Amino acid sequence: MNARLSQPSSIRLRREVAEALAWNKPVVALESTLIAHGLPRPDNLQLARELESIVREEGGVPATVGVIRGEPVVGLDDAELERIATTDVPKLSVRDLGPAIACGSDGATTVASTALLAARAGVRMFATGGLGGVHRGASESFDESADLTTLSRTPIGVVCAGVKSILDVGATLERLETLSISVVGYRTRQFPGFLVADSGFPLDWCVDTPAEAASVLKSQLHDGAVIIANAVAREDQLDPEVHWRVLDQGLSALREQNIRGKAITPFLLDFFRTQTGGASVEVNLNLVRSNARLAAQIAAAL
């Protein structure tokens, strides 16, 4: 059974999620784009269920976010998870939510739209893999993820492994500062590089425990997000030399094939998968599992 929010009326909550929020129990939002577009079938559905199990192991309630028949849902049930994982659904960022709702479409929510819907439902923690950010060459293309501007006005804690290393990490960190989005390392003073533990950029702040991370969230004086940067374990990271070599090759392939816009990220992620013999996918899986566990621990501390 499901419960509907009175404000806003357009978001449906799974009953378990609604009850957890009402009783101030820990809830962790999870995105559905990773399920629909980030992994091959049937691995995607298996991971979706595994992430929810990890949150439960830490005493939290999982709330995977998506759009079903034009209805935004915070807390997909298992049948809806399977629907998202096994059918071809569009990727929905914030700007796509209105058209998808009006058209009665299914859809997988990105970091931006997941954060927005979860925060409006009252969820305070969100676990994902890597954030979007400023693309290389953005000074000419103006290609920047909606994740950044959305998080600047969305009060939620986001556990991630940094931003995708195919992006311009330095420019992304500059934009995060401009947008007043707090970035805190979890047991690290170096900003993570998604598939590698260290992007090469230092951080001003770090915390060592879930309770300390929760304290940062409680201390926020504005409605922006707090990014908790949780680096992939060094023993699990992609070999840094392989990572940077494959990235250079992938960027060259982009230019040669004149790939632009939305096609860049999926192309490069698939390029990494093929060139590393699937090793990049294993790293991605490990870091997402770690982020879900940490997010649940922080949610419990909140």
Say whether both 94 and 159 belong to one domain: no
Say whether both 74 and 182 belong to one domain: no
Say whether both 211 and 291 belong to one domain: yes
Considering the entire predicted model, what is its pTM?
A: 0.93
Rounded CA-CA distance 27/10 in Å is 20
Say whether both 144 and 72 belong to one domain: no
Listed residues 123, 148, 176: the one ending a domain = 123
Say whether both 183 and 280 belong to one domain: yes
- Residue 259, class by beta-carbon neighbours within 10 Å (0-12 exposed, 13-18 middle, 19+ buried)? middle
The number of CA neighbours under 13 Å toward the Cβ of 34 is 30
Say whether both 211 and 279 belong to one domain: yes
Please check whether residue 158 lies inside any domain of the structure: yes
Say whether both 18 and 153 belong to one domain: no
Closest CA to 275 of 300, 301, 296, 251: 251
Q: CATH number of the domain at 53, please.
A: 3.40.1790.10
Say whether both 283 and 167 belong to one domain: yes
Can you state the angle between helices 279-301 and 43-57, rounded to 10 degrees? Answer: 30
Three-class SS state of 186: strand
**What pLDDT does 138 receive?**
67
Please check whether residue 253 lies inside any domain of the structure: yes
Helix or strand holding residue 62 (H, E): strand 61-68
Please check whether residue 129 lies inside any domain of the structure: no
Say whether both 140 and 119 belong to one domain: no
Task: Convert 263-287 to b/e letters by CB count within 10 Å (16 or more is b).
Answer: ebbebbbebbbebbeebbbebbbbb
Rounded CA-CA distance 18/2 in Å is 8
Q: Checking DSSP bridges between strand 61-68 and strand 71-74, what pairing results, if any? A: antiparallel
One digit per residue, the tens of pLDDT, for the chain of length 302 reads 444 433 344 899 999 999 999 999 999 999 999 999 888 889 899 999 999 999 999 999 999 999 999 999 999 999 999 999 999 999 999 999 999 999 999 999 999 999 999 999 999 999 999 999 997 776 677 778 999 999 999 999 999 999 987 889 999 999 999 999 999 999 999 999 999 999 999 999 999 999 999 999 999 998 999 999 999 999 999 999 999 999 999 989 988 998 877 777 778 888 999 999 999 999 999 999 999 999 999 999 99
Q: Checking DSSP bridges between strand 125-127 and strand 27-30, what pairing results, if any? A: parallel
Please check whether residue 128 lies inside any domain of the structure: no
Q: Indicate if the alpha-carbon torsion angle 119, 121, 126, 128 is positive or negative.
A: negative
Rounded CA-CA distance 268/26 in Å is 35
Tokens of 98: 């209105």
Listed residues 93, 123, 153: the one ending a domain = 123
Say whether both 182 and 221 belong to one domain: yes
Listed residues 123, 152, 181: the one ending a domain = 123
Say whether both 139 and 119 belong to one domain: no
164 flagged as catalytic:
yes
Domain that holds residue 287: 134-302
Q: From the candidates 52, 82, 164, 282, give the one annotated as an active-site residue.
A: 164
**What pLDDT does 8 receive?**
42
Helix or strand holding residue 44 (H, E): helix 43-57
Place of tokens 């260290």: 198
Say whether both 156 and 290 belong to one domain: yes
Q: From the candidates 31, 52, 58, 80, give the one annotated as an active-site residue.
A: 31
Overall domain count for the chain = 2
Please check whether residue 108 lies inside any domain of the structure: yes
